[in-house]
Structure 1
Amino acid sequence: MKTWHRPLLLCAGLMSALTLACGVGLVVDERSLLGESVWLKPLKFGFAFALYAATLAWLLSKLAKGRRLGRWVGTIFAVGASVEVAAITVQAARGTFSHFNADQNDPVTLALVPILTYGVMIVLIAQLVIAVTVLIQRTSDAALTRAIRAGLGLATAGMLIPLYWMVTELHPRTVTDAAGRNVPMYQGHGIGDPDGTGIPLTNWSATGGDFRVPHFFALHGIQALLVVAALLAVLGARHAWLRDERVRARLVGSAALGYTGLVAIVTWQAGRGQSLIHPDAATLAAFAAVALVTGCATAWTILAARARRPAVR
């Protein structure tokens, strides 16, 4: 880890500490916002950025081209993410809303809204630059390269999905914060039910669509695909047909295809105002189609590789 990007590692460490602190807050602080603990949002952001910043810290250490650019952009990402989550945490500690808060009478909110607005843009731009930098080079063997490229593409899409929703749909309303104050809001994370909650652990909407669902799945696709690539590499030590990196790359490609299909479906599902846990027949059919295509692609790759097994060394 000595070669990993240090500002991103520091960011991951701070986010991990925040996650633990917010976990304590969930237990000892009874205040809530729209039915969920005031500390749940910074906890989720802290966990997500801890995982993603650590992934980027490792990834940037693998760059063969554009290393200096990668270091600078990684630092910008780390600072932008830290400031963004700090603003969210301040609002949580105050018992009020961070995103979508349109309260013009609260000086702290007025000071933090630009940070929350432009912080997202800074993180997104840094993410785009990192993605392009990685796409122009081969960072490792074919399987890992494919996992990284597909994962970064998914993560970038995951950052764009809520941004698209925020600028294309408005749902002005007035809600009550943890102190009982009326707070005007201009947007929400739900479709059909702007402030819906109810799904255990995540508190995603159980009554309508929720764009936090595709945001989560897409953002963490890179970790899922890296795990697939790592497992294939481990299994390659036991199965001769998996020692060909082209075979592992094709299997990672199949996993990426299936995962992209999953993200597309939950995005479509949320856009139709449908809760993740209440899929209709069309959604179930789409899931089945993605599973079938992914399964067929995977099976074809495995059968073809095993048929060529005598030629693999």
Structure 2
Amino acid sequence: MTSITSRLHEHIDALPPRAPDPKASAPARRVLGIATAVSVVTLLVSMVALAVDGQEIGGEPAWIKPTKFAIAITLYLLTLRWMLRAVHGHRRTLIVLASVIVLALAIEVVWIDVQVVRGTTSHFNTGAPFDAAAYAAGGVSVSAVFIATIVIAVLALRTRGLDLGVAAGIRWGLGLCVVGMVEAVSMLGNGATSTTTGAHTVGALDGGAGMPFTDWSLHHGDLRIAHFVGLHMIQVLPVLAWVFLRCTRLDERTRRDLLRVAGGAAVVLVGLLWWQAERGQALLEPDASTVAAAMALVAAVGVGAAVVLRRPRTD
């Protein structure tokens, strides 16, 4: 397992960008690298448990949530480790940020897994004193990750000397990740009962018919969708920036502006998915207003990209 994660880190380290002084982020990246290896182990354990444990919680396999969170956390740690090479910050500041994120995510994983072992839900569960305390601890850990991500985003905004396209991908990716975290606040208080403080389904109780693996509601609004899209733009937009850098001959300014179009579209997309869910509407059952808004977004992206590409290029 160590050799696999080591080779993965080596491949990621070979990718752009690289800060003028990558040594400043080396200790923080080492912390994130170790955490990534541990996260991969937890992912494998969750996958094995998913395969052998037939119990269900809330209408879905008990270990599906730990598996999904392990995937998301592993990707987040890998992405952040790569990004820190391009972030200018004091060595100690970066170590503190990395350590806070790792500790907070560890609390999140332990909380979710313990609740699965206990045979009950984790999120929004305040039915018993232990459940309420565990949920509160999870809330504190998520808040710590949120604040640390904002700080890293600010450091990325202050960084100079990077390729403009890659820098845009990193900045917009971090910004959308923060937006995705903010969207999750809408779940608090939604559908609250005497034993819960929120829910992700709008228009019905959590646990109804859902899409494979994601479990997003097939017939009602689901606030997790916009949350998911926003969070994972931290991977999508930097990868898009890398593709533009490696696979096109576009200049920095053009690539930067295309990433701005993509980033702005991603913000609108998160808002659109949020709006759709808040109206109790399933992702695959959009009404005419949602379809019209989606078509307008596609058209706007096309126009924006065309304007950028038709502009005289600079060498």
TM interval, short-chain normalised: 0.7 to 0.9
- 2:200 alignment counterpart: 189
Kept after mapping to 2: 8 A contact 1:199/1:205 = yes
- 2:228 alignment counterpart: 216
Give the Cα separation in 1 of the matches to 2:311 and 2:132.
Answer: 61
Q: Secondary structure at the match of 1:134?
A: helix
Cα gap change, 1:246 to 1:55, in 2 (>3 Å): same
- 2:182 alignment counterpart: 160
**2:281 matched to 1:274?**
yes
Partner AA of 1:227 in structure 2? V
Which residue among 303, 306, 309 is the counterpart of 1:299? 306
* Number of residues of Structure 1 aligned to a counterpart in Structure 2: 290
Give the Cα separation in 1 of the matches to 2:30 and 2:182.
Answer: 26
Partner AA of 1:189 in structure 2? H
- 2:19 alignment counterpart: none
Partner AA of 1:293 in structure 2? A
**2:163 matched to 1:141?**
yes
Consecutive unaligned residues in structure 1, runs of 5 or more: 174-183
Shift of 1:140: 1.9
Which stretches of structure 1, 4 residues or more, deviate above 6 A after TM superposition?
none
User: TM-score, with normalisation over the residues of structure 2?
Assistant: 0.86
**2:193 matched to 1:172?**
yes
Shift of 1:62: 2.1
The answer to which of 32-41 and 128-137 deviates more is: 128-137
Kept after mapping to 2: 8 A contact 1:148/1:225 = yes
Q: CA RMSD in A?
A: 1.9
**2:145 matched to 1:118?**
no
Q: Secondary structure at the match of 1:185?
A: coil
Per-residue CA deviation, residues 43-96 of structure 1 (Å, 9 max, x unaligned), is 111111110111111212322234431221121011101111111011112221
Kept after mapping to 2: 8 A contact 1:70/1:133 = no
Cα gap change, 1:9 to 1:163, in 2 (>3 Å): farther
Kept after mapping to 1: 8 A contact 2:258/2:308 = yes
Give the Cα separation in 2 of the matches to 1:75 and 1:163.
Answer: 24
Kept after mapping to 2: 8 A contact 1:64/1:139 = no
The answer to which of 225-234 and 115-124 deviates more is: 115-124
Kept after mapping to 2: 8 A contact 1:60/1:71 = no
- 2:21 alignment counterpart: none
Shift of 1:212: 0.8
Identity over aligned pairs, percent:
35
Give the Cα separation in 1 of the matches to 2:165 and 2:47.
Answer: 36
Give the Cα separation in 2 of the matches to 1:95 and 1:75.
Answer: 30
- 2:102 alignment counterpart: 78
Q: Secondary structure at the match of 2:311?
A: helix
**2:55 matched to 1:31?**
yes
- 2:20 alignment counterpart: none
Give the Cα separation in 2 of the matches to 1:248 and 1:267.
Answer: 28
**2:65 matched to 1:41?**
yes
Per-residue CA deviation, residues 162-210 of structure 1 (Å, 9 max, x unaligned), is 12431x535206xxxxxxxxxx333211111230441122011112111
Consecutive unaligned residues in structure 2, runs of 5 or more: 1-8, 14-25
Give the Cα separation in 1 of the matches to 2:38 and 2:280.
Answer: 35
Give the Cα separation in 2 of the matches to 1:270 and 1:164.
Answer: 10
